[in-house]
Structure 1
Amino acid sequence: MRLRATFILLLPLLLLASHTPTTPPATEQPGYQLIQPALLSAHLRFLSCDELEGRETAKRGQKIAARYIAAQFERLGLKPLGDSGTYFQRFFVKERRLGPNNELVVKVGNLTTRFNRLFEDFAFAVRGAQATKLSGNVVFCGYGIRDKTLSYSDYDGIAAQGKIVLLLSGIPKTARQSESLERWNDTYTKYLAALEAKPLAVFMVVGHSATPSLKEQFDSRKDQLAMSTMSLVDPARTALPESRSTNPPFVLISTEVANAMLAPYQKTVSELAAALEERKPQSFELKQVTASLTIDIVEEVLPTENVCAMLEGSDSTLKHEAVVYSAHYDHVGVGISGRVFNGADDDGSGTAAVLALAEAFAKNGTRPLRSMIFLTVTGEEKGLLGSKFYTDFPKFPLKQTIANLNIDMIGRIDEKYEKLGNPNYIYVIGSDKISKDLDAVLQEQNRASVNLTLDYRYNDDNDPNRFYYRSDHYNFAKNGIPVIFFFNGTHADYHEPTDDFEKIHLEKMSKVVRLIFAVGWELGHRRAPLRRS
């Protein structure tokens, strides 16, 4: 009886305890309150200034940013998680960049004309291009159409093998209403058809038939086309990996260059385009013409680094598990035009968020039970290189990494939400793909904190943008680690030199960072593991 009476007296307390959250509310934490626009602004203003030269991977500005991030981690007393007791995880990349000696030469008899104004006389993309020196005869093959269903081919009777194939861009005006010919408007379709002829190279003329000139078409795009490419270097290799390509080069040329080739035949691009309106091939070999092409691609192995730190958990057992906060601190650098791509939103905003989160947790007073890892990676813009290296050579065991919260572009408002007049949103990607428990934590913490609109539009497996595969969380997801990618969507300044600090919405950004703090706080305290879906 006495035992029963004691139980009855304790019952209200037991019921109260069963409904009391085991995790102290994130919103009541000093660290949560510390996340303010001013804190984010201080970091982001520096990271996106012109002096950092667009933070291109392995370049001066990226190195300055890396030292800045490491200094912040050190100031906060966080444990270095890099190499040899530093905050830096170092690795090497092979860069392929545009060299200075690019030229197209047209020789007709004893007359030699040199064209060396890249993106005015001729153009190509560094991505996919190989260092090239070639010279050969030229064959003109109209619009480059080879269509069996129409019984039409611009290659009939032309021996194009081992020669430079000269094509016109687009299709005849009279064919623009034809569905069967419309596919030949596609440049890649033309290139594939040309490859069947086994040419030495493919030159395509742009700027004819009342379309903008090559210079006009590429003036705003040349920075992107000229951007260097990079790939990871295997740590076991010391020599420069050899580049190989079996495909002939594809080059766009101006009407001026094409007309120089056609001059000995008293023809012009405009005249040939007009004749092709009759849908009869005008193909012929330019026997008096030799064209030479030099594509100058410089390859170099360069050092770069991720920057990573850890706040050790307070529980003797759970501290051996961790939540990883990640963002990429690199951007695309300085364009061939000399314009600086500051990347304030992409991904200065995410990097500033990771630094603010590091400060929030470090100064909170009460530490989570699990460890918190703050990882800023480089090489994202070159193909998720830094996160690939980290997950290949992790500084904390992946099997004990319970989640990755990746932050890439959270400082702007996209067109959809601009029209709605609602800045208080965030796109959520990947939160339910590996663990539905993680998505449940996200939704619960959102309701309990900032109550943003969580938009799952880009989480759809059929979304054509494929954002799930395009940021650093993906390298964690490939290893079976539950992930959330926080993203504000694209905007007109995405990958443009106009992605500047002045356009950042700091109030909106601080709300997103508070939500991310709350999610990490809950993950750092919950006893139950995240169940895999």
Structure 2
Amino acid sequence: MKYVLIFLLLPFITKAQQTQVNTDSLMNHIWVLASDSLHGRLPGTEGFDKALGYSMAFFEKHGIEPAGRDFWPQQVPMDVNRIDSAYFLIETGRDMMQLVPGVDFSVRGYSGSGNVDSDVVFCGYGTEADYEGVDVKGKIVLVFKSNPSFNNDLPPFTIRRHADIAYTHGAKAIVFVSQPNQSNPQKPIGSVMHGEGPMHEDLPQLQISVEKADYLLSNSGYRLSELQSLIDSTHQPHSIDVNKKASVMVQAVYSANGFTQNIVGVLHGNDPKLKNEYILIGAHLDHVGTIGNSVLYPGANDNASGSAAVLELARVFSLQKGKLKRSIIFVLFGSEEKGLVGAGYLAGHLPVDKASIVAVFNMDCIGYGDSLMVGNGKSCPDLWSLADSTSSELGNRISIHTWAGGGADLTPLFEQGIPGLYFVTTNSYEHLHLPTDKPETINQALYSDMVKLVVAITKRLVIDMQ
């Protein structure tokens, strides 16, 4: 009799297990999305298209329907750029030292193409004032990757704006470097966040490490930290010829008429009235690509972790479809890395009335760090209280730190008046936009706890109706 009872209960046990968050399933998605074959998931490339195809096939397998003909996928106009190859050499006095891509230098995602062998000129913060009386025609300029803190009258810093200033003064290449006097100077990262300004297709744009920038300055009589201190203390430019040559090369392929894509699917609820209300669960699918065949930016935490979580939530709730009262919209955003492009477009081209969206849950960088954090709580205190009480019941309290105004891809939707929360982990950015952001670095226990939290909060809103 005991064995018969176990046999009869087995299907129910299996069903219950299937509706729980599966860490192996999450990690399998991350291994796929962060793999070499997806080439860093840069929009406008085959790698991003593969990520789209993989995700759409998974949604379809689990009964997630397109939110409409124009949402599977949703095409978003955007200029695109691909870095095919690059090198950076510095004169040593005897020969040229070759820098290591991904470690000593990176290529900006919207760099132009070119091959420049020339003198290098340090031009401070790269503002117009830094170029006064300085000859940079035909040369490579080295500038800090920020505005000076002592001048609040300047327009916001963007890569394109500062590249345009250098270009206007005749420079043939621009190299950015972090401020060495910061507590933790940024390493050379892969990034497509270039901001406002014209695109110069013939201007190579790179970022160098502080250590190699100091080597570049070794004949100038200054260290980089000394130059920053001098400029910051006097509030005056101090541009100098560094007395070294460098050689930089970038091959890029640019299109002003490209596009990125969102995937927007829906799992319909069953209540005659409440099925017309929605919880939107999203994460950005894109990352920052490669430097040709030499450097891969895998983007495991940023944001294969969030994308995998969206896929896992789709699986979990598809198995409970008959219990759903409200409907769930699942979104994978394109081109968050360029400046919330996909989310911004979706906010203006929603598949449903924005008033029918009860909440947006956005997940970004949730697989690395040391604790759970939920943003936008000051703007949506009721939702944050729900997250806090739910996390307490699960035994994984969220950080008391939160903020207002959205965050990441939640921001443009929140600005449309749609309430929401932004799920992230604390101290999550050690590998941000670096080649080391690999699946092996994922904190699987923390990651699983975060996804379980989002599942539990969502369940309260679509099944339990809290």
Interval of TM-score (by shorter of Structure 1 and Structure 2): 0.5 to 0.7
1:9-61 CA-partner distances (Å, limit 9, x unpaired): xxxxxxxxxxxxxxxxxxxx948842121222232222222222211122111
Q: Is 1:426 aligned to 2:381, yes or no?
A: no
Counterpart mapping for 1:92-491 below 5 A:
92-96=77-81, 126=108, 160=134, 199-201=169-171, 224=190, 227-228=191-192, 243=199, 269-270=220-221, 298-300=253-255, 301-335=257-291, 338-414=294-370, 425-434=371-380, 436-448=381-393, 450-457=394-401, 459-460=402-403, 471-489=408-426, 490-491=428-429
Deviation at 1:491, TM superposition (A): 3.9
SS in 2 for 1:455: coil
Deviation at 1:365, TM superposition (A): 4.7
The equivalent residue for 1:72 is 58
Aligned residue type for 2:447? M
For these two proteins, the number of residue pairs brought into alignment is 406
Q: Is 1:493 aligned to 2:435, yes or no?
A: no
Is the 1:349–1:408 Cα contact (8 Å) retained in structure 2? yes
Is the 1:333–1:340 Cα contact (8 Å) retained in structure 2? yes
The equivalent residue for 1:512 is 450
The equivalent residue for 1:91 is 76
2-side partners of 1:68 and 1:344: how far apart? Answer: 16
**Could you say if the C-alpha distance between residues 116 and 316 of structure 1 is closer, same or farther in structure 2, counting changes exceeding 3 Å?**
farther
The equivalent residue for 2:20 is 34
How large is the Cα RMSD of the aligned pairs?
5.4
Structure 1: state its 5+ residue gaps.
1-28, 105-114, 147-152, 171-181, 212-217, 233-240, 260-267, 277-282, 415-424, 462-467, 529-533
2-side partners of 1:205 and 1:228: how far apart? Answer: 15
Aligned residue type for 1:381? E
SS in 1 for 2:55: helix
Relative to the length of structure 1, the TM-score reads: 0.60
2-side partners of 1:154 and 1:372: how far apart? Answer: 53
1:326-367 CA-partner distances (Å, limit 9, x unpaired): 011111121357122211111111111111111111101533
Relative to the length of structure 2, the TM-score reads: 0.68
2-side partners of 1:36 and 1:306: how far apart? Answer: 25
**Could you say if the C-alpha distance between residues 118 and 91 of structure 1 is closer, same or farther in structure 2, counting changes exceeding 3 Å?**
farther
Deviation at 1:456, TM superposition (A): 3.4
Deviation at 1:510, TM superposition (A): 2.1
Aligned residue type for 1:49? S
Is the 2:44–2:258 Cα contact (8 Å) retained in structure 1? yes
1-side partners of 2:65 and 2:260: how far apart? Answer: 21
**Could you say if the C-alpha distance between residues 101 and 34 of structure 1 is closer, same or farther in structure 2, counting changes exceeding 3 Å?**
closer
**Could you say if the C-alpha distance between residues 486 and 200 of structure 1 is closer, same or farther in structure 2, counting changes exceeding 3 Å?**
same
2-side partners of 1:160 and 1:315: how far apart? Answer: 70
SS in 2 for 1:366: helix
Aligned residue type for 1:75? K
**Could you say if the C-alpha distance between residues 160 and 74 of structure 1 is closer, same or farther in structure 2, counting changes exceeding 3 Å?**
closer
Larger radius of gyration: 1
Aligned residue type for 1:456? I
Is the 1:93–1:231 Cα contact (8 Å) retained in structure 2? no
Deviation at 1:134, TM superposition (A): 11
The equivalent residue for 1:522 is 460
Q: Which residue of the other structure, out of 19, 44, 49, is the alignment partner of 2:30?
A: 44
2-side partners of 1:453 and 1:484: how far apart? Answer: 16
What percentage of aligned pairs have identical amino acids? 23
1:301-339 CA-partner distances (Å, limit 9, x unpaired): 323321121111111122111000001111112135712
Structure 2: state its 5+ residue gaps.
1-14, 90-95, 152-156, 228-237
1-side partners of 2:266 and 2:125: how far apart? Answer: 58
The equivalent residue for 1:59 is 45
SS in 2 for 1:389: helix
2-side partners of 1:205 and 1:75: how far apart? Answer: 47
2-side partners of 1:476 and 1:142: how far apart? Answer: 39
Aligned residue type for 1:42? N
